[in-house]
Amino acid sequence: MIPLPSACLVFKLTGDGTIACTGQPIAFELTGEAAPMVDAELVQNAAAGVLHYFRMEMKRTSVSVGEFSAALETVLHGFGLTHLKTAVAGESGQPCHVESDLCLLTGDGLEMFFFTRLRHELRRQLGPSPSMVRFYGLRPCVMQLAKARRWSRRCQTLHDQIVDYLRSSLRAEPVNTPCGLVIH
């Protein structure tokens, strides 16, 4: 078995899946009436604190998405953000999560076609009304689209555009149940 880095935590998904999370930022989607007013950096720092708590204070190497979500919600409530909710996969009986590899959507490497494919893939994923939508491979996808060997300012800009595009696309889609969005 490969040992985990000291800043890594494994998330156990409902069902058989797991996701390893390191110190690399994760994109969170918040729901509730206070969500538009929350600073993204605050959420990132709160999530890093919760990750540190489970890994270093509790000496755990894995945690369920539900446990992490509840702990993050508690921390955010401590900051006075009491109207935020976190959607936990698998609670309401709908499919727990669907996922896609962003690298497979790059195709010929043209951004114009990539964003069209990305929107189509998001709509496809939302079809069965999952509680969580996951897109992985963001960094390699960006490197492929930017045709870059090293991370650059252009890569960071494209990274941010993809995350913003997915967030706004999810908000624009008519969904029957709350749906979380994970991008890494």
Residues 120 and 172 both lie in one domain: yes
Please give the tally of structural domains in the chain: 2
- Cα–Cα distance between 39 and 97 in angstroms, integer? 26
Both 108 and 39 in a single domain? no
Domain membership flag for residue 92? no
Q: Are residues 73 and 148 in the same domain?
A: no
Residues 51 and 107 both lie in one domain: no
Residues 102 and 179 in one domain: yes
Same structural domain, 130 and 160: yes
Considering the domain architecture, whether residues 53 and 104 belong to the same structural domain is answered as: no
| pLDDT score recorded for residue 17 | 66
Q: Does residue 88 form part of some domain?
A: no
With respect to residue 71, please indicate whether it lies within any of the assigned structural domains.
Answer: yes
Do 103 and 163 fall into the same domain?
Answer: yes
Token pair in block for residue 20: 């390893």
Domain interval for residue 71: 9-78
Please give the pLDDT value at position 89. 36
Query: Does residue 87 form part of some domain?
Result: no
Same domain, residue pair 66 and 139: no
- Residue 156 lies inside a defined structural domain of this protein: yes
Same structural domain, 71 and 108:
no
Query: Is 50 within a domain?
Result: yes
| Pair 113, 166 in one domain | yes
pLDDT, mean of each 10-residue run, the chain (184 residues) = 61 66 55 58 77 79 76 74 49 56 82 88 82 86 93 94 92 77 84
Give the model confidence (pLDDT) of 62-109 as tens digits.
877 777 777 777 777 776 665 555 543 333 444 456 788 898 888 776
Residue 105 counted as domain residue: yes
CA–CA gap between residue 63 and residue 75 (Å, rounded): 16
- For residue 1, being part of any structural domain is answered with no
Tell whether 37 and 104 lie within a shared domain: no
